[in-house]
Amino acid sequence: MMPEKIIPYKIYLEEEEMPRQWYNVRADMKNKPAPLLHPGTLQPITFEELREVFCDELARQELNDTDAYIDIPQEILDFYKMYRPSPLVRAYCLEKKLDTPAKIYYKFEGNNTSGSHKLNSAIAQAYYAKQQGLKGVTTETGAGQWGTALSMACSYFDLDCHVYMVKVSYEQKPFRREVMRTYGAQVTPSPSDTTKVGRKILEEFPGTGGSLGCAISEAVEAAGEREGYRYVLGSVLSQVLLHQSIIGEETKAALRKYDIKPDMIIGCAGGGSNLGGLISPFVGEKIRGEADYRILAVEPASCPSLTRGKYVYDFCDTGKVCPLAKMYTLGSGFMPAPNHAGGLRYHGMSSVVSQLYDDGLIEAVSVEQTAVFKAAEEFARVEGILPAPESAHAIKAAVDEAVKCKETGEEKTIVFGLTGTGYFDMVAYGKFHDGQMVDYIPSEEDLAKGFAGLPPVPGI
């Protein structure tokens, strides 16, 4: 049953084979992502403006669309060694179960305590904050993966970490909260009375469960008011995609090590950090004409920014205090239905991913959540790993492609990103088991409401 050349179940890179640079796909993009705009002036944001929000080096990385490779500092490489390289796994059991001629690989990012790929950027952001002599950072978290990752990273560098956690998650996911506390983070349910914006919202909407948009605003305000603090964010930003390129660089190196040529790369897409990181090196080859791949972004049907959104400038947060970004968006006022992939509920998409999509370099598809959980369970039963609902979007698409291969007889090689584990998502799995899960697809009216809140800013 073994293929011609024996591929191990899990391909690990040796320490000396590990990438030592992040790859910045913007440098190779012919159409650069549109610049962030200052929310007050609506002009492209400058380094001096951006460094008031982010620490200096991260502001530089955010604006850098010319350097293709950026050295990873030794301290970050050392931390990466604790949980990287992540394995590139050949899904032999899944292939057998599907009886497909396709060869399926997945890059598994869940083998660290934060349980997801978020740690790749969290450690970088904490490092640069520490290097600048800051005391701490603030952030928001919804589902909790980013907050957990940042807590771990800050604990490692002995930085204060203050997480504003969407109140409904704070209450429904107490275990996530405890993991963050284990790593020494301060966790505040948002909206809270510790910020002006929080107090204002509590006054307007007493008893509200909060939202990511509100938590972002609180975190930004808190960072601005404290000496030696900056705000950090776990997705959407170009700097985050840069750090996450470690996923794609490792994947490329692992494939090369065994002479494997993928036909297709698949990733789930929320804010775009995992997808962007995984695909960057492959898109780079595609842009440079060195290779061709089909690249597929998979998003939830309930929050379909790529497949049903508009490519325009929009607010990044509901409080409208952050810079504006040009992106595929459903509007910052779009309220995604309560699906169970909390990490894929952002109204917009990374500017980099948006531009690649607009240029036709990547494709996108949306999938419904019951089908996603069905694929997740099938995958868990044969491959062992219990996937996060977010990650399972990529599984669903990969399985669909592998089934198509069975029909056509094609021996395609499919690589997908498995971003994390679902240990803290068992409420959702329970609903699925009990037949209580429903699919949400926004109506045209729902979308129109979201689009109505778009700012009147022309694309640049």
Contact flags string 140-159 toward a copy of itself, x per CB under 8 A: ------------x--xx---
In the complex with a copy of itself, the residue whose CB is nearer, 314 or 383, is 383
- Least Cβ distance, residue 178 to a copy of itself (angstroms): 4
Contact flags string 9-28 toward a copy of itself, x per CB under 8 A: xx-x--x-------------
Asked if 21 and 70 count as a contact pair (C-beta separation under 8 A), the reply is yes
- Least Cβ distance, residue 150 to a copy of itself (angstroms): 13
Burial of residue 380, with CB atoms counted within 10 A of its CB: 0-12 exposed, 13-18 middle, 19 or more buried: middle
- Least Cβ distance, residue 80 to a copy of itself (angstroms): 9
Spatial separation of the C-alpha atoms in residues 251 and 105, rounded to whole Å: 10
- Our CA angle for 344, 359, 263, nearest 5°, is 75
Is 437 a binding residue for a copy of itself by CB under 8 A? The answer is no
- Least Cβ distance, residue 239 to a copy of itself (angstroms): 22
In the complex with a copy of itself, the residue whose CB is nearer, 73 or 184, is 184
How many C-beta atoms surround the C-beta of residue 374 within 10 A?
A: 17
In a 13 Å sphere around the CA of 306, the CA atoms on its Cβ side amount to 30
Asked if 335 and 312 count as a contact pair (C-beta separation under 8 A), the reply is no
Buried b (16+ CB within 10 A) or exposed e, 71-86: ebeebbbebbeebbbb
- Least Cβ distance, residue 73 to a copy of itself (angstroms): 15
Spatial separation of the C-alpha atoms in residues 108 and 106, rounded to whole Å: 6
- Least Cβ distance, residue 113 to a copy of itself (angstroms): 4
In the complex with a copy of itself, the residue whose CB is nearer, 10 or 196, is 10
In the complex with a copy of itself, the residue whose CB is nearer, 279 or 386, is 386
- Chain residues 60-99 in contact with a copy of itself, contact rule CB under 8 A: 81-83, 89, 93
Buried b (16+ CB within 10 A) or exposed e, 427-449: ebbebbeeeebeeeebeeebbeb
Q: Phi and psi dihedrals of 116, rounded to 5?
A: -155, 180
Spatial separation of the C-alpha atoms in residues 454 and 410, rounded to whole Å: 44
Contact flags string 371-390 toward a copy of itself, x per CB under 8 A: ------x--xxxxxxx----
Asked if 133 and 57 count as a contact pair (C-beta separation under 8 A), the reply is no
- Least Cβ distance, residue 383 to a copy of itself (angstroms): 7
Spatial separation of the C-alpha atoms in residues 370 and 368, rounded to whole Å: 6
Is 113 a binding residue for a copy of itself by CB under 8 A? The answer is yes
Closest CA to 332 of 423, 213, 209, 448: 213
CA–CA distance from 4 to each of 101, 102, 186, 286 (Å)?
13, 14, 53, 28
In the complex with a copy of itself, the residue whose CB is nearer, 178 or 292, is 178
- Least Cβ distance, residue 185 to a copy of itself (angstroms): 11
- Least Cβ distance, residue 175 to a copy of itself (angstroms): 4
- Chain residues 171-210 in contact with a copy of itself, contact rule CB under 8 A: 174-175, 178-179, 181-184
Q: Which stretch binds a copy of itself (CB under 8 A): 139-147, 223-231, 412-420, 427-435?
A: 427-435
Asked if 413 and 320 count as a contact pair (C-beta separation under 8 A), the reply is no
Spatial separation of the C-alpha atoms in residues 364 and 307, rounded to whole Å: 6
- Least Cβ distance, residue 97 to a copy of itself (angstroms): 10
Closest CA to 310 of 354, 272, 344, 350: 354
In the complex with a copy of itself, the residue whose CB is nearer, 199 or 431, is 431
Is 289 a binding residue for a copy of itself by CB under 8 A? The answer is no
Q: Which stretch binds a copy of itself (CB under 8 A): 133-141, 257-265, 337-345, 426-434?
A: 426-434
- Least Cβ distance, residue 141 to a copy of itself (angstroms): 16
Size of the residue set binding a copy of itself (CB under 8 A): 41
Binding site for a copy of itself (CB under 8 A): 8-10, 12, 15, 81-83, 89, 93, 111-113, 115, 152, 155-156, 174-175, 178-179, 181-184, 377, 380-386, 421, 423-424, 426-427, 429-430, 433
